[in-house]
Structure 1
């Protein structure tokens, strides 16, 4: 309260307090603004980088397919292709078929050693003398059959920008015999670039390694073909850095725009491209920070209003401190009104605002604390924060407070706050210290944390039964094998397939089938030990891990209990009961294998022996050759799709079987829930199959692992897309595409992997998987 006759020292002290308060508030606002500015920039950089990497993967896959196609054509060239008309006619038909099937190509042509177009998918090109074309001269100067030559972009006679991929043809005596070349269709690559644009101000481009711009999306025909390899350009700096990826901000050479740009070099190791391609993702810097700038203007205006208001009040009080009591009361009223404004801001904030000392004692809290905590503000005021925290969070919170005492800010720190009913709420803190005080803003994030925990559970558990899914099963199975190796114990693996389950589904419907699966899952879980793992891996199949076995007979005891549990009557509704049986295959570590793949194959084979032997029984894996269960190839597979690796061929059979089931369900027009269920099974099993291949490639140091894994990621994205497009019709076309999706991957990726593993096996470096 201001009094008449106040000393000069009091006024100075008040001015100092006001200045400190203004500086603290300004520092907090500046810090938050700067932090938000950095967060916006870093988030956008990561987003552009992710989109550029995704574009890299999609285009690299396209290049790999085209490069492989050119190699296959070259390897299959018939004798006398240079002169024999019948051979050229066959090649022409083949090229036209490939161009019509591969949307990423415009033409495929073969030029002889003189540069004459001997064969082409485009009739107008056949017979032309193309020896002056840069892509021909490029190969002729240094012909290497292993290199994929990437020609620079050029404008065709039809006014379309394109690029060529070429491979050298070497004669029988090692001489240069010609060039096989394919021109790219920019439409497909433009679709790829368009698909990764997540905002209207984002553009994506693709350039040749020499710097010529090939495509820009959205289309800017005036700059297509422009040379980006100029000193100081983003392209030049990226190429000079030698890094695969780079991010920068500045003026783009081609468009003269201020942009944040992410670049990614496309040059897969196995393709041996003579020149790379460079994909770029860019976004307008002004658009990136538009929202941040608007918020900062509002904050600055509020801050300026508060500072100016405070300054005017203090100036007014200074000039009239010697006046009568009435003038002093007027000043006090103005101060009161200003404090009410500040208090109103503190009171109405939805976040929990508080001021406390460095020891965690609360001095002031806003009403949001009462709503969250359930305690009256009077109870919390002067209370110590640590008294309300979960015991497991106290040490981490003290460490964070210690950091505040060193002037470090705290951002996004979480702990649990005790409520009167004994429950805890997750609180996220943002705090900074000034002197001996801590200014903090907190937010209740309990629902978000619970959602994150729920998503974690969903990621590792089967949606229907709640049992562990494939991912969690393999983790526990691997841990059990590792523990058995250390303790010289055995591990049992039981592969369970229900007998009669399809009849339940067909006779009583899928709801009854789901009820049976839930009941069997519950019975199995109650039958085994707490240390055992019961997992559902799809359909009516269950996998059970029995760690720390001393004798294989212990697995047989569990199998008998499981058979008894499965055979009991199951109530699927108030007035309906049904029953199923079970066929169980058993494999034992290390008797039947020393890794997860071998043990899974053994248990699966034993399960088929159980079914063939009469069902509703258990069978241990028999390692004799005559004991292997022969599983016929599904319709869409034939002998040429066998890769020669037992575990991979077995999984291909199952994968094709899932596709066949899905086709049958669609043809019979079964309900959407059933079709969704089959799609989930196919997707989950495909993930499991890809994980198996990755494990084998890692174990045996397969040189093509990066390309193979990249193809797996792309195929999973395509599988998700198939499901979304089925609701739009064209089921027959989609299933043809889905089958081609599987078969093409087997031929192009898995067959080379099988050959590599067979070579390892024959050389004695490893056992057959």
Structure 2
């Protein structure tokens, strides 16, 4: 007895050890899950910030390239002594035409302004300015100098883009400079803010910050090139793009920041520009922190509940074992008599008292459950049957203890692991109205049921696997008709039940462009191959989804292919994300027209096609007259409305095969395939008149009308390319604006021959 008590104490300790190990494993799994989720949140946000910073980078690079072309063109005119006497007017017109430029300056070798888009600056000497001193110290005409941010004489904090003007002997003769307009950058930088806690900033390569959006007092002019700052770490890494996390030097905030350097190799800038797009770290991880608190709280409840449960369970175990010992004494007295009687009865015979402990059991019982007489003596029926079998038999046991005889079929597992099927009878042992226990008579009918059991088990396993699968699982007959589909699949095709689709051909739900590929996949599977296909469907309720299916052949026991097994997942979200990214990469966000990059791709393809197959091809360059005045007078919001209304009118006038793109602030280009000069001129005039008829009603209720100037050119000669055509159309546009605006001018090719 002392040894038995010692073993019981050891088993109780083992339970506590197992519970501790399980709780440690659960805690470890919870910690690992939280770590993985935090890493996923971090990766997703880094990707989004890099995309937004790339949007700013591409727009700024386009603006710098445009400014460089204008500065180079002006310098060439000056070197050829072709600068007109009204150079100030020309520079002002260029300023009006370029929304990203605030001021143009022509400064001679002594630092004196000889011409400017702002006449009040002419005659002033800026030799003390860094944007003059640095080029003078390194007069390389091939370098595009980008000055550090400074406060201009007009009270605007800006950056100057500078080209050196060489003299006749290559000496330093002055500079031509363009001051970037911070308002242009603010509009661009505001467009990428997708969350309230975001801000963007742009700084010079030396670390001086130009501006921050949303604007914060004291940020412009701050030197970010401090040891350990985000700016310094990004610059020292030598990478074009970096994503950093920590305390921001400029604001003292905890941020995740994407930084990009803007220094295209084609421009040969002396200094880069650095853009930053960031979000507040606490906001990024707010949802994760909430989930972590919830999961840790649940873990604590589980620890408390499991420990209390084990304590109660062990206490009950002690009580049951005490009663078991008492019952064993009574059982031992009658067991000898009952054994002789029942061992000769075919089938299993046993008696269970009201506490569900074995009073006796015959030899067949011992053999079936693999127990010795000593093991069966006083054993609880739960311990002999196991938890699963007891759970199944418990309703019948409770009924017989109420005095109700029970008859039922039951599957039992023998001690050797084989499965037997039985017919069981529970007969109550009544003493008056009191049920002292019950007799059990069990007959083995395994041979009669074996075939039925095997069939039911096979069908149950297959259905369980299919219904538990979170992806669509379907079985098709050899002719393509649907035999079986789980709930996940029915949801994908918008079916309420299997009865709606069983017996129908699944290919009927596939959209026409993908039906043949779907049929081909079925034919490959019928030949014994496996395959994967991505396709679009129209659900029974009209919804559209993109699906990806993997199909494999189903074979019978003889290896013959009798159908198709397919596992399908919904990839709609992934497909929509791909399409949205492609649309954003090709479209101007304000007007919905093609952006400059996408327009150039389409235009180059059309020029090549026309040169190969012949036909006419015309190009427009269009500019909204006095657009900068509209912006300055009524604000950028009105300017945006003007651009959008202009885009709407253009789409109505132009054909579907024509291509229109926004290539600058208020500058647009149009490609007209199969159109000669005469018809192009007609289209241009019709478009000009339609725009002039547009009336935009301002917020104050006042009407506003706009006009446009159009330059037209037509492809002539096999050596032409899209850059040549755009240059020709731009020259014609320039002539239209110089001769009064609100007109169409056509490029005269005979000017090139002369």
TM (norm. structure 2) is: 0.49
Would you tell me which structure has more strand in proportion to its own residues? Answer: 2
Return the index of the structure with the highest Cα Rg. Answer: 2
Would you tell me which structure has more helix in proportion to its own residues? Answer: 1
TM (norm. structure 1) is: 0.48
